[in-house]
Structure 1
């Protein structure tokens, strides 16, 4: 897998990626995944490699979108399992339909994703038992909409990963069995 050249994209490190998917465990199996601020697509591709049914990659950087496309063609045989939206995350969130079981959010550290998380929840794009995973700088906690609650937070040096669900939906361990789609 390749990453876009330059400093605009900060791929999630292998240690953090492995830890995230260790926490998500079997939630990824058969899941619809949304990868916002996808960069190289590393998180979305990891989800597919662990059995996700499909992934939608969103990144507004043209070089990142081209890199994701090349990686997807090389790594995912079934083209029905992936889609790339080369646009701003807010625009994508306003046009997407359906519900996502896992939403991966890895914005530039200086930017944050508060508005995107609010639109995600307002539009009802998170499945009832879905989980949102936000990677951010440890020194800058993520601000969640009131409709969400933090269920887990882990630190890896300067990187922090916050796991959140719809308020009142329980912990990461709380989950109804997935029904076939």
Structure 2
């Protein structure tokens, strides 16, 4: 498999130094219990938090549906989506991040917020999705751009039993990509910001 980089893209942080792996930027939580909290993020190649505007749009789409959700955050990076979900009432989030340094910072940030019901898994996402599954009601999928990872990950989620019957799936890809998703995923909302396009799908049972 091609080497993956951590995901999440954005203008939501500023890097003021050049040493990779050093906590230099800030991630701002937009709403919910931890609203306005700022968390350190690493200066790591490819680490790109989802833009504030896109996150705000996404969580407006989700609205009250977040309460009690079991969430899977793939290519978690800074954890911007999963942490926002917990802040707004999700029961727990499983974060999957390949880079050990990025995952360690994410674990530190969860501890600083006293988020104890969620877990960070240091693993390659495609390898993780071959494990025995449990169904999630909400999945965030933000793979690195231009690595052809969206379609196989979507297929693995559907085929591997990772989704509840009426799961909601958020997929963020490069705008040039028209993602190939399972036929029982219905596009519910879509928005574009810069080079990325965000889509929200509703799963229907086969």
Shorter-normalised TM range: 0.7 to 0.9
Residue equivalent to 1:24: 62
Q: Rg larger in 1 or in 2?
A: 2
Unmatched runs of 5 consecutive residues or more in structure 1:
170-181
Q: Deviations over 1:89-118 (max 9, x none)?
A: 122222253211110011111223211110
Query: How large is the RMSD of aligned CA atoms in angstroms?
Result: 1.7
Q: Deviations over 1:61-110 (max 9, x none)?
A: 112111111111112x242x111110011222222532111100111112
The structure with the largest helix share of the pair is 1
In the superposition, the TM-score normalised over structure 2's length comes to 0.76
Conserved in 2, the CA contact under 8 Å of 1:3 and 1:39? Answer: no
Q: In the aligned structure 2, how far is the partner of 1:50 from the partner of 1:93?
A: 26
Consecutive aligned runs of 4 or more in structure 1 exceeding 4 Å deviation: none
The alignment of Structure 1 onto Structure 2 pairs a total of residues equal to 167
3-state SS, counterpart of residue 94 of structure 1? coil
For 1:19-58, list aligned pairs within 5 A.
19-58=57-96
3-state SS, counterpart of residue 50 of structure 2? coil
Residue equivalent to 1:119: 156
In the superposition, the TM-score normalised over structure 1's length comes to 0.85
Conserved in 1, the CA contact under 8 Å of 2:166 and 2:205? Answer: no
